[in-house]
Chains A and B, each alone.
Chain A
């Protein structure tokens, strides 16, 4: 009997050792650098399709740079939890994607490399779209956003043709006024019996097709507020300026789209709607305001679509927003990391530009005719894209608050919670704004410098 328990105990022990044995073998294997080859890790997020595109880019980088070996780490799901854990335990990758707000915060704490020092070595660092620079202190930037993205409008062309309605304009100078938007959206909003929203017997309880969808987040209302001469905070970033006539007019107007004219879905209905590409394709909406990145799925869905600029109040305006790519200061190989940094979003190397997900940050891809053709001469980019996206970005796009307002993540949580009560018609605008004044003001710590 004793013999038996000894046998069992030894079996248990051998399993434990086996487990340790194979794992320690693995760990020595992965940290094994042969000779003078430098190993870098690059951490990123994205869909499966993005992952494949990025892995392709990494492979070709490794092929053309035999002395550097980049290992890609794709993080599915909760990116921030992972990167925060790595930060706390000093296990950061060399190069990584990062939310812009977090990137600037960590840069101020010295955890992210200042790339302005390298501008002479890599002159291309100076030739990028102005809005993509991420300055955290005057004259110091962490580099640029990974790609460029703006808010714009997409529409289902066939719906306009069917009803003989004029499509939205692609040039910023022709941007619709709010009234023009309402008129067109009314003609394209239909109830279950096919009556449009401007008919007297229209039934707003059984809407089958909406004229337009507007995101309830700042992506939807901020471009209009900016267009109307307002902003979220004042110039210094110390005071909330949403309780101004300029901003309130916009909020009221968007609210009217939903509850007075019944041409846009309520936030609750929006929740139950699929992504823009599917909403357009299935004719749930005729026009949709969304980020440029939606182009990838819209073009992929096969719907006959067009792109347009956003409506305006006064000056045509949109916002520029994107995640950042950074090099952590903890890297042991800054030179090699920079080499990869310059390569990782080069349109020559990544096909995410042609497919519609990204817009380049390299200036020449907006000015040089041949270069523009390289990424837009394909079915994903319709003819009017040149005006509605490229020129719109250059002339009318302003950095989104996530890039230039300090503490944005917390501020945005408050704003969304507050304004949602207005978008769902649970509270009056004045009440919401008064509450926001109290909850947001303590969070305001100014703006980051813009150069």
Chain B
């Protein structure tokens, strides 16, 4: 009786281990293959950004720039006033991020924790605005800003985020609401017993517990603003107010493109986003899994 399990278990163990190892190798191979495929366009972008026109289109394709054309960067970044565009973009980012945090937190808190008449109906209506394509609301919104005298300013690009709309606005409210719902009610009940007001509960309990969700929102919104092309294109007229996305488009003409410059400028503009991802990656993944499983 005693020997049987021993005899049985001994030969099983090593095979399991080797199976385990084999599958690991296989998984890693698969992952490496996947990441090569995913990273290839990015590699191509970086490679082309150091090449002259002749080399970019050489056939068979060449992998290593020869010579390294650093001048692509210096010329691309000076032929268009990217420093000014960067400042403009950062200004918009700052206002939008601040507005988004304030407005979507308050809205999400109200939709998840406070009880009021018609709450769910209002929430449904707000969610339904997500279904409207941008193109449908573009012209009416534009006319509204025109009446308010806000054309050619950054107001149409930033103010909506203070009211829970604008870039990613409704999505952020939704995401935060789901996250808040996952926080146990018992925590705040304790605070209420100690005499806290709803706002104190939000500031002292809900917000500190929701860091991952806030970071997800910040990253999403930051990227969306960074890449927004249509908004600045429509609302801004003065060169001095343009954003990076618009600056990038000037390298692509109607009939041709200065590929080397375009690639160099793209690398320069994409780099902050990539860095941001690496810095915030931990929270980012945490935030997604939390909101994903407990929503």
A residues at B contact (CB < 8 Å): 1-2, 4-5, 8, 12, 15-16, 19-20, 23-24, 26-27, 30, 41, 45-48, 50-51, 71, 73-79, 81-82, 85, 88-89, 91, 208, 272-275, 277-279, 281-282, 284, 291, 293-294, 297, 301
Interface hits, B47-76 → A, CB 8 Å:
53-54, 56-59
A284→B56 CA distance, assembly (Å): 13
Stretch at the interface among B113-121, B165-173, B251-259: B251-259
Alpha-carbon gap, A89 to B141, bound state (A): 10
B19 within 8 A of partner (CB): no
The answer to whether B200 and A1 touch across the interface, beta carbons within 8 angstroms, is: yes
4 tightest A-B CB contacts, nearest first: A77-B249, A76-B249, A47-B253, A274-B57
Q: Report the minimum CB–CB distance from B93 to chain A (whole Å).
A: 13
Contacts of A26 in B (CB 8 A): 153
B140-166 interface with A by 8 A CB criterion? 142-143, 146, 149-155, 158-159, 162
Are B250 and A73 within 8 A (Cβ)? no
Asked if residues A73 and B139 are in contact (CB atoms below 8 Å), the reply is no
A27 touches B250 (CB 8 A): no
Contact of B239 among A74, A85, A89 (CB under 8 A): A74
Give how many B residues have a beta carbon under 8 Å from the other chain's beta carbons. 52
A157 to B99, CA, bound (A): 61
B153 touches A293 (CB 8 A): no
Residue B107, interface by CB 8 Å: no
How many Å lie between the Cα of A47 and that of B253 in the bound state? Answer: 5
B-side contacts of A274, CB under 8 Å: 53, 56-57, 259
Task: Write the residues of chain B forming the contact surface with A, with a CB cutoff of 8 angstroms.
Answer: 53-54, 56-59, 79-80, 95, 98-99, 102, 138-139, 142-143, 146, 149-155, 158-159, 162, 196-197, 199-200, 203, 229-230, 233-234, 237-239, 246-247, 249-259
In the complex where A76-B246, A274-B53 touch, is A81 in contact with B230 (Cβ < 8 A)?
A: yes
Name 23 A/B residue pairs within 8 A (Cβ), A-sorted: A1-B197, A5-B199, A16-B159, A19-B158, A20-B155, A23-B150, A24-B149, A27-B152, A27-B153, A47-B258, A50-B253, A71-B237, A76-B247, A76-B250, A77-B233, A78-B233, A89-B142, A274-B56, A274-B57, A275-B256, A277-B256, A278-B54, A297-B256
8 new A-B contacts, CB < 8 A, other than A46-B254, A88-B139, A291-B255, are: A2-B200, A16-B159, A19-B158, A46-B253, A73-B238, A82-B233, A274-B57, A282-B54
Candidates A27, A75, A85; contact of B149 at CB < 8 Å: A27
- In terms of DSSP, what is the predominant structure of the interface of chain A? helix
Kindly state the separation between the CA atoms of A8 and B57 in the bound complex, as whole angstroms. 56
Q: How far is the CA of A51 from the CA of B79 in the complex (A)?
A: 11
Closest to B237 in A: A73
Q: Once the chains bind, are B57 and A48 in contact (CB under 8 Å)?
A: no
- What is the CB-to-nearest-CB distance from A367 to chain B, in angstroms, rounded to a whole number? 29
Shortest CB–CB separation between residue B25 and chain A, in angstroms? 37
**How far, in Å, is B268 (CB) from chain A's closest CB?**
16
A293 & B233 in contact (Cβ 8 Å cutoff): no
Assuming the contacts A81-B233, A274-B259, asked whether A2 and B250 have C-beta atoms less than 8 A apart, the reply is no
B203 engages A19 (CB within 8 Å): no
A5-B200 in contact given A30-B152, A275-B256 (Cβ < 8 Å): yes
Given A5-B203, A82-B233, A48 contacting B251 (CB threshold 8 A) = yes
- Interchain CB contact under 8 A, B253 and A75: no
Q: Which residues of A contact B197 (CB under 8 A)?
A: 1-2, 5
Give chain B residues whose Cβ lies under 8 Å from the Cβ of A27: 149-153
Q: When the two chains form their complex, are residues A273 and B239 in contact, meaning their CB atoms are under 8 A apart?
A: no
Question: Closest approach, in angstroms, between the C-beta of A269 and any C-beta of chain B?
Answer: 10
Asked if A81 contacts B256 (CB within 8 A), the reply is: no
Highest count of chain A CB atoms <10 Å: which of B203, B251, B256? B256
- B253 neighbours in A (Cβ, 8 Å): 46-47, 50
Does B229 contact A91, Cβ atoms closer than 8 Å? no
What residues of A have a CB within 8 angstroms of the CB of B256 in the complex? Answer: 47, 275, 277, 297
Task: Write out the residue numbers on chain A whose beta carbons fall within 8 Å of the beta carbon of B200.
Answer: 1-2, 4-5
Partner of B146, one of A1, A50, A81, A89: A89
For the complex, give the distance between the alpha carbons of A263 and B74 in Å: 39
Instruction: Given A27-B149, A48-B250, A78-B230, verify A19-B95 contact (CB < 8 Å).
Output: yes
> In the docked arrangement, what's the CA distance between A46 and B234, Å?
17
